[in-house]
Amino acid sequence: MQVGQGSPANKAGMIPGDIILEFEGTEVITAEALVAEIHKRQPGDKVEVVILRQAQKRTLSVTLEAMP
């Protein structure tokens, strides 16, 4: 996974290599499914994302921003 400097993911604490398992309680199967879930939300929405990092699950709170 790419994590852009200053991106919402970066601000929430995600790092390259993290694997997104869930987005707001929905299991993430593909990158396309993740994008579809993100597009259902608005900039400024806070969402919970469950990631896998070094064999440990972590939950992060991400504040969505408008795409440039």
Domain 8-63, CATH 3.60.15.10 — does that match? Answer: no
- Three-state DSSP class for residue 26: strand
The answer, yes or no, to whether residue 1 has pLDDT greater than 70, is no
28 vs 5: CA distance, rounded Å:
23
**C-alpha angle 29-35-39 in degrees, rounded to nearest 5:** 135
pLDDT band at residue 2 under the 50/70/90 scheme: confident
What's this model's pTM, rounded to 2 decimal places? 0.85
Task: Return the pLDDT at 10.
Answer: 85
SS3 12: helix
Any idea where the domains of the chain sit in the sequence? 8-63
- Bridge-partner residues for 21, per DSSP? none
pLDDT at 59: 97
pLDDT of residue 55: 94
